[in-house]
Amino acid sequence: MAFDKSAIIDSLKEASISDLNDLVKAIEEEFDVSASAPVAVAGAAGGDAGAAKDSYDVELTESGDQKVKAIKAVRDITGLGLKDAKALVDNVPSIVKEGVSEDEANDMKAKLEEVGGVVTLK
């Protein structure tokens, strides 16, 4: 017997909410699974997102009064050329670096704040 997804989907579209609820319960009993477990896991992960975060994006939200020093700091952090670093500093808010560790992100933040920049870690 071939598995016909489109026929199943079509019959689900015509089912009432109570029929769908009964179907979920029957699938849970037949396969010994719980439809609510993934929701609980997603909810728990969302609540602990700040504690479990392992990579950060460093965003320069304001360049400050010392733009030349901010450009130099961005060049040191990113390895960008002068033109690209200047464009990044001039077009705030902008992402300086993505997917870095917490220690590296805090180090970058300190360097940029030292020259008057305002940094947000996301």
Domain ranges of the chain: 1-35, 56-121
pLDDT, position 7: 87
pLDDT, averaged across the chain? 81
The encoded tokens of residue 82 equal 């002068």
Mean pLDDT of all residues in 117-121: 87
pLDDT, position 4: 86
Q: What is the pLDDT of residues 62-118, one digit of tens each?
A: 888 888 998 998 899 888 889 988 888 888 888 888 888 888 888 988 988 899 888
**99, 58 Cβ separation under 8 angstroms:** no
Could you tell me which residues come within 8 angstroms of residue 35 by beta carbon, excluding any fewer than 6 positions away?
A: 24, 27, 28
CATH number corresponding to 56-121: 3.30.1390.10
Strands (E), the chain: 56-62, 94-100, 118-121
What's the chain's length in residues? 122
Q: Is the per-residue pLDDT at 25 higher than 80?
A: yes
pLDDT range class, residue 51, cuts 50, 70, 90:
low
Q: Give CA separation, 26 vs 19, 29, 37, 84, in Å.
A: 10, 5, 16, 59
pTM for the model stands at 0.55
